[in-house]
């Protein structure tokens, strides 16, 4: 009797231990899925702690489900431990479908494509999300890997729609202007974003690609009823700064000379010498200071419009 009970208890204990070890083994073989479940559990606890509304909780849960597909990886940490060349190869391979679907990349220099994709950041948007809001300062442009977005005007009309292989948001990065239209996700959208700093860094090395993007941007502006000539205004701030510095230099020099003249005696010889000095200074300024581009400022140097 006792021997039978002892055997049953021993058997149940061994079975429980075996089952526990087997469960741990299975979980260790699929650590990414286990991490995903832990991540979702943390998110659920956070939503309960913050007492978020039910519809918002549902959207957050659906977002995690769509983005991670049941598996969670710290991709940034993994790639950060690789060598630069190996990391570049992995990123290029991961983005191969994007490169294949974007005509802009298909006709571009291979080095340009590699420089761009290594700086891209993966982002997911849900249907109805406002990806870009009209009138805001642009900090990113986007490439569509999968999904559909609508270009929405201020009156709420949809000017056009973009899908797999398209890109948007480059206009304000090229013109240093504010967003000219809003962009809304029509479906779940898998996008890759490129920040303004990386955008300028890459295009400064490939001026021909900048010209190509400016041409496409001008066509898009014309299509949505905006003035395409704003694409030519990108360099205006630099020229205005140059002219402003030139005028400031002239004013400061003339002010210093005027103060010098006022402090001198009334002796005619000395006055004549000061006038001659002022004339010499003006001539030197004409030769040494940069010539302003604007017709409005050429008169300061006694010049005429070409």
Round to whole Å and give the CA distance between 265 and 284. 25
Whole-number Å distance between alpha carbons of 143 and 170: 10
Can you give the pTM of this predicted structure? 0.65
Q: State the pLDDT at residue 124.
A: 96
* Tens of each residue's pLDDT in the chain, 306 residues: 666 776 777 777 776 766 665 566 555 556 788 889 999 999 999 999 999 999 999 999 999 999 998 888 888 889 999 999 999 999 999 888 888 888 878 778 889 989 999 999 999 999 999 999 999 998 999 999 999 999 999 899 999 999 998 999 988 888 878 898 999 999 999 999 999 999 999 999 999 888 888 888 888 777 766 666 655 555 444 444 444 555 555 556 556 655 655 565 455 445 555 556 556 655 655 555 455 544 444 444 444 444
Kindly state the tokens that stand for 12: 């149940």
Are the C-beta atoms of 150 and 183 separated by less than 8 Å? yes
Alpha helices in 235-267 (DSSP H): 236-262
Exposure on the CB side of residue 137, measured as CA atoms within 13 A: 3
Contact between 131 and 191 (Cβ < 8 Å): yes
b/e for 132-163, b at 16 or more Cβ within 10 A?
beeeeebebbbbbbbbbbbbbeeeeeeeeebe
């Amino acid at each position: 009797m006792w021997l039978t009970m002892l055997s049953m208890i021993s058997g149940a204990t061994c079975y429980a231990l075996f089952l526990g070890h087997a469960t741990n083994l299975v979980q260790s073989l699929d650590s990414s899925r286990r991490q995903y479940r832990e991540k979702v559990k943390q998110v659920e606890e956070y939503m309960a702690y913050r007492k978020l509304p039910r519809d918002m909780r549902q959207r957050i849960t659906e977002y995690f489900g769509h983005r991670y597909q049941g598996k969670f990886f710290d991709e940034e940490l993994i790639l950060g431990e690789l060598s630069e060349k190996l990391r570049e190869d992995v990123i290029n391979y991961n983005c191969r479908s994007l490169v294949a679907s974007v005509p802009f990349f298909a006709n571009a220099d291979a080095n340009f494509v590699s420089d761009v994709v290594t700086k891209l950041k993966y982002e997911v948007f849900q249907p109805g999300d406002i990806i870009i809001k009209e009138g805001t300062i642009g900090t990113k442009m986007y490439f569509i890997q999968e999904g559909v977005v609508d270009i929405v005007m201020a009156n709420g009309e949809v000017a056009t729609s973009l899908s797999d292989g398209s890109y948007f948001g480059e206009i304000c990065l090229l013109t240093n202007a504010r967003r000219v239209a809003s962009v809304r996700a029509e479906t779940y959208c898998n996008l890759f974003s490129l920040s303004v700093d990386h955008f300028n860094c890459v295009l400064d090395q490939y001026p021909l690609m900048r010209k190509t993007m400016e041409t496409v941007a001008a066509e898009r502006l014309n299509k949505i009823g905006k003035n395409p000539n704003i694409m030519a205004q990108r360099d205006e701030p630099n020229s205005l700064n140059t002219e402003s510095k030139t005028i400031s230099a002239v004013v400061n020099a003339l002010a210093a000379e005027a103060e010098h003249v006022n402090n001198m005696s009334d002796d005619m010889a000395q006055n004549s010498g000061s006038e001659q000095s002022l004339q010499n200074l003006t001539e030197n300024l004409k030769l040494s200071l940069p010539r302003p581009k604007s017709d409005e400022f050429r008169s300061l140097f006694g010049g005429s419009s070409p």
